Amino acid sequence: MKIGITGLANSGKSTIFNSLTRLGVSTPPYAATSGEPHLGMAKVPDERIDRLAEIFKPKKVTYATVQFVDYIGLTRGDAKQNRSVCEFVKDADALVHVIRAFEDEGVLHPLGSLDPLRDARTVEAELILGDMELVEKRLENMDLALKKGSKPSPEERALLEKCQAALNDEISLRDVSFTNEERVAMRHLQFMSIKPQVVVLNIGEHDLNSDQAAAMCREVERLYKGSVWVKALALSGKIEMEIAELPSEEARAFLEDLGIQEPALNRLIRACYENIGLISFLTVGEDEVRSWPVRKGSDAHAAAGKVHSDIQRGFIRAEVISYEDFMKVGSLAAGRDKGLLRLEGKTYPVTDGDIIHFRFNV
């Protein structure tokens, strides 16, 4: 799973990327206009894994991970530049859209003043413009092909025209209803405004936990007309980066001082995970306790394939117990005795938090 970090220049994208991945890429106070994209992995925090690790004391504990890509910012009104920026995130499953909401005279704002809602609108408009261009180019190519005697698919044309009509009305594609077939048919076009978004308001460190920050989140969500594909949250990139750089004991003390239970980054990663439509199933044992990401709606057979292709090929049964049931009884054996451990077949729809043991034969 890949998530692209986007937003205007100097909004704090790389700062947030650093907190997520601990890679320490440079975050100069001036806007970057070129360079290489940064790639890094972030662990998906999961308390269930922490608790299970305490019980099983395994040799290895593995969390699900998500890949993040950080690149330079989008520029208002510069379609060419934006096209090259989107090139690196167009295959992402979702976007983290960072909006500057912190005041700092030492950090240049590309639009000259602090105005989070304007910035949100600006970025959304650029994504829509980029998608419009894509549609137009694709339609032109179809016309050309037609002239040359080939027969482009009428379904694809209709679909493109449907997209075009929405984009012309400034409606992001994520808010247009498409059938599954339509979604599959346009996947290769790699539209940007169709991607789920987690909007991050990068607030000043003194605004943490403030009513003002919460109100701003609501305003941003209103701007996206309550789209189910957009979630907004507020955090301070600067503080998150400081927390990420601390040894874990000190980080805990720092969080306590701030009056928060966990880094806001955990909420951010979880929001991304949910927005992509991912759930986790868990495997346990003395060797490893691990969480595995799968798409919501995946069956046990697909889940087995995540663990190992042999397990998928030789799939016999999945022994399944929900995390909650497991915690009530404390062991798989007790779960079996109490009838809470179920035997499921290939088509069993995996649920978030299922602890699964695959029986297989190769």
In the complex, the residues that contact Mg ion under the rule CB under 5 A are 13-14
Q: Let me know: does 216 contact 154? Beta carbons within 8 Å.
A: no
CA angle 39, 183, 172 (to 5 degrees): 75
* Near ligand GTP in 253-292, by CB under 6 A: none
Q: Is the CA virtual torsion 66, 68, 74, 79 positive or negative?
A: negative
Binding-site size for ligand GTP (CB under 6 A) equals 21
Q: Which does 102 bind (CB under 5 to 8 A by kind): Mg ion, ligand GTP, none?
A: ligand GTP
Which residues in 49-78 contact ligand GTP (CB under 6 A)?
Answer: 72-73
Q: For ligand GTP, which is the closer residue by CB, 82 or 236? A: 236
Q: Which stretch binds ligand GTP (CB under 6 A): 10-18, 45-53, 54-62, 113-121?
A: 10-18
Give 3-state DSSP helix, strand, coil % of the chain, rounded to 5. 45, 20, 35
Select the binding partner of residue 238 from Mg ion, ligand GTP, none (C-beta < 5 to 8 A, by kind).
Answer: ligand GTP
Which tokens belong to 67?
A: 């890949």
Is the distance from CB of 277 to CB of 50 less than 8 angstroms? no
Nearer to ligand GTP, 122 or 236 (CB): 236
Question: Which residues within the stretch 22-51 sit at the binding site for ligand GTP (CB under 6 A)?
Answer: 27, 29, 31-32
Q: Minimal distance in Å, beta carbon 231 to ligand GTP?
A: 19
Contacts of 140 (CB under 8 A, 6+ apart): none
Q: Where are the alpha helices (DSSP H) in 78-210?
A: 79-86, 116-147, 154-168, 180-186
Q: Which is nearer to ligand GTP, 25 or 139 (CB)?
A: 25
Query: Residue 236 binds which entry of ligand GTP, Mg ion, none, with Cβ cut-offs from 5 to 8 Å by kind?
Result: ligand GTP
Q: Is 107 in the site for ligand GTP (CB under 6 A)?
A: yes
Pairing of strands 94-101, 197-203: parallel
Does residue 21 touch ligand GTP according to CB under 6 A?
Answer: no
Which of 174, 238, 267, 301 binds ligand GTP (CB under 6 A)? It is: 238
* Residue type (1 letter), 30: Y
Q: How far is the CB of 13 from ligand GTP (least distance, A)?
A: 3
Contact letters for ligand GTP, residues 84-103 (x by CB under 6 A): ------------------x-
Q: How far is the CB of 73 from ligand GTP (least distance, A)?
A: 4
Tokens of 251: 């980080």
**How many residues in the chain?**
362
252 C-beta neighbours (distance < 10 Å), count: 14
- For 22-74, list the strands marked E by DSSP: 38-43, 60-62, 65-70
Q: Quote the least distance from Cβ 13 to Mg ion, whole Å.
A: 5
Shortest reach from residue 128's CB to ligand GTP, in Å: 20
Query: Is there binding between residue 10 and ligand GTP (CB under 6 A)?
Result: yes
Provide the 10 A C-beta neighbour count for residue 357: 14
Q: Which is nearer to Mg ion, 13 or 301 (CB)?
A: 13
**DSSP assignment of 26-40, as one string?**
---SSPP-S-PPEEE
Rounded to whole angstroms, what are the CA distances from 71 to 23, 29, 82, 261? 14, 15, 11, 30
Figure out which of the listed residues 3, 4, 6, 9 binds ligand GTP, where binding follows CB under 6 A.
Answer: 9
- In the complex, least distance from residue 5 CB atom to Mg ion, rounded to whole angstroms: 8
**Structure tokens that stand for 39 in this block:** 């790639």
Rounded to whole angstroms, how far apart are CA atoms 301 and 177?
A: 29
Cβ 92 vs Cβ 3: under 8 Å = yes
Q: Which is nearer to ligand GTP, 130 or 293 (CB)?
A: 130
Residues that bind ligand GTP (CB under 6 A): 9-15, 27, 29, 31-32, 72-73, 102, 104, 107, 202, 204, 236-238
